[in-house]
Amino acid sequence: MREAARTPFLSCRGQESPPPPARAGEPGRAPSRLRQIWPLVGLILLAVVVRGGWIGLQIDDLSLDEDNYAHVAEVFVQTGTFAHGRGEKDYTRLAPTAHRPPLYPLMIAFFAGEGSRISVERIAVLNFLLAIGTIGLVYLFGREAVPEKPWFAHLAAFLTIFDPLLLDRSAHVMTEGPAAFLAAGFAYAAVRTCKSGRWWGWIFPGVVLGLAALCRPTFLPVLPLVAGVVFLLELRRQSWQTGLMAAVAVVLGGAVALGPWTWRNQQVFGKPLLTTTHGGHTLALANSPDYFEQVQKSGFSSPWEFDAFTHRVSQLPPLLATVRPDGPGYQSRDPLKELEMDRMLNEMAWNWIGEHPRDFLYLAFGRLAQFWKPMPGPLGDHSGWMEALVRYGTGGWYLGLYALMLLGLPLAWRQGWLPVHLAWWLPLVFVFSGVHFFYWVNMRMRTPLSPFLCVLAATGLLALVQAGWQAWARRRSAV
């Protein structure tokens, strides 16, 4: 049987032509409008129940504020200053900081209640809306990427609802949830712009990437990479002039989002910081003799409380005496000292890397394994039965997703409908993997890529179902 024509990689053409007629019930074929609506209604209700129920059950976790995002939002609401300082009663004494990325605290501040109060309930509402928005954007991406197979979008959204990392992070005051929302938003905006053929439309995906960088700085290198891809895309289908204008539009969109924060940092630090002053700490934490010794002794998955690193660094120049496990855990008093601390920690890390290249490579490849591993924690963890159930359930979920990708994606390619628009997720995969080759990592930092894993698994699952249906139909017709 002749294979279906495949879409070139650098192309925005999907499989837009209507599919050939098929017997009723064959998977992958477009159902009637009514049959499209009911599954969507079911997805929405399921998402509301699962995500809302989970956040409600885990609402106590939202009061922990592990990385002080709610605290920074509270200071901002009360003083108008983006500052940091737990334990300080008079927030007006705090100086501006760029220790944490600003977007998520600004989102929390927008949801502040009367009297500038940051309540757990309001953060729960914010996280719930971001979770539902992520699921919705995955569904919309699926509809745009493979319009002739409506069940593809339903499957991708269904898997996203139950993704363990997305579920867990929605009950924490952390940036992984909004980052996943913006990652899915970028993919959807890129597909829409790609199919529209308007070079100026690339401003919008650029804006989304800029906002994502203000949520998690790991997104920042994605911006120039996407600009390069867009240039090659438009060069292929139109001209180099159009490609150049489209690439500039991507960068311009990112600049629109990053501009206000960069200008503010120029005024505060005398330097146009695009993201944060936290990078030096995460680089030094991941490339230090203390971490290498811990890995040699107990393995990559063993819990590490950073005590040895904190103690050693605090014995160095007085400026670093206030370093804490979550970064410079001091009350922000002096922006110039904060900037200098970041510089010194960067220098410390790069010096260790230069002096211990083999140890660095050992840790770097271990970080990649930690980033992509299916199950949290070490294999020999003797925790309680509930913790073990969660851990092994999570591992089983991601092993299942990986299996669907490995088995199903080649089938989708041979069947001729592997979505070309999946390529818009690849810059995120390359950049996240590359950044965490150097910087501190654990499994939760993969969360922004979870929607992509769900989309890939949905592709594989639908391809396997279609192959099974076709095999059954051939056997039936042969009888």
pLDDT of residue 239: 87
Mean predicted confidence (pLDDT) in 340-366: 93
pLDDT of residue 2: 41
Residue 329 has pLDDT above 80, yes or no: no
Mean pLDDT score of the chain, rounded to an integer? 86
Both ends of the chain: CA-CA distance in Å?
19
pLDDT of residue 326: 54
CA distance 228 to 238: 15
pLDDT of residue 54: 95
Among the ranges given (7-21, 234-248, 264-278, 377-391), the one the predictor scored with the smallest mean pLDDT: 7-21
Which residue did the predictor score with more confidence, 38 or 114?
Answer: 38
The token pair at 323 is 């370093």
Neighbouring C-beta atoms of residue 172, cutoff 10 Å: 20
CA distance 368 to 65: 27
Residue 381 has pLDDT above 70, yes or no: no
Mean predicted confidence (pLDDT) in 118-147: 94
Mean predicted confidence (pLDDT) in 301-321: 71
pLDDT of residue 38: 76
Mean predicted confidence (pLDDT) in 166-188: 96
Residue 382 has pLDDT above 80, yes or no: no
Per cent of the chain over pLDDT 90 is 57
pLDDT of residue 17: 42
For tokens 């363990």, name the residue: 164
Per cent of the chain over pLDDT 70 is 86
Long-range contacts of 37-42 (CB under 8 A, 24+ apart): 39/151, 39/154, 40/139, 40/154
- CA–CA distances in Å: residue 382 to residues 297, 300, 369, 388, 394: 18, 16, 22, 8, 16
Residue 55 has pLDDT above 50, yes or no: yes
In 397-467, DSSP assigns E strands to none
pLDDT of residue 407: 93
Report residue 332 CA to chain centroid gap: 28
pLDDT of residue 52: 95
285 by Cβ neighbours in 10 Å (0-12 / 13-18 / 19+) ranks as buried
Tens-place pLDDT, residues 355-372: 999 999 999 999 999 999
- How large is the angle between the packed helices 150-162 and 33-57, nearest 10 degrees? 10
- Are 445 and 168 contacting, i.e. CB atoms less than 8 angstroms apart? no
Which residue did the predictor score with more confidence, 120 or 21?
Answer: 120
In 190-343, DSSP assigns E strands to 323-324, 327-328
444 by Cβ neighbours in 10 Å (0-12 / 13-18 / 19+) ranks as middle
Residue 323 has pLDDT above 60, yes or no: no
Neighbouring C-beta atoms of residue 470, cutoff 10 Å: 14
195 by Cβ neighbours in 10 Å (0-12 / 13-18 / 19+) ranks as middle
Residue 242 has pLDDT above 50, yes or no: yes
Smallest Cα–Cα separation from 375: which of 351, 400, 345, 412? 400
Mean predicted confidence (pLDDT) in 266-284: 92
Report residue 422 CA to chain centroid gap: 15
What is the band of 22 on the pLDDT scale with cuts at 50, 70, 90?
Answer: very low
pLDDT of residue 256: 97
Mean predicted confidence (pLDDT) in 41-67: 91
pTM of the model as a whole: 0.90
Mean predicted confidence (pLDDT) in 126-135: 96
Residue 23 has pLDDT above 50, yes or no: no
Which residue did the predictor score with more confidence, 333 or 224?
Answer: 224
Report for 60-64, 175-179, 241-245, 419-423: range of highest mean pLDDT: 175-179
- Are 304 and 291 contacting, i.e. CB atoms less than 8 angstroms apart? yes
Residue 216 dihedral angles phi and psi, to the nearest 5°: -140, 115
Residue 330 has pLDDT above 90, yes or no: no
What is the band of 24 on the pLDDT scale with cuts at 50, 70, 90?
Answer: very low
Mean predicted confidence (pLDDT) in 437-456: 95
pLDDT of residue 328: 45
| 3-state DSSP helix/strand/coil % of the chain, to nearest 5 | 70, 0, 30
pLDDT of residue 34: 60
Q: Which residues contact 90 (CB under 8 A, 6 or more apart)?
A: none
What is the band of 86 on the pLDDT scale with cuts at 50, 70, 90?
Answer: confident
Residue 374 dihedral angles phi and psi, to the nearest 5°: -80, -25
Determine the 3-state secondary structure of 268 from DSSP.
Answer: helix
Residue 193 has pLDDT above 90, yes or no: yes
Determine the 3-state secondary structure of 328 from DSSP.
Answer: strand
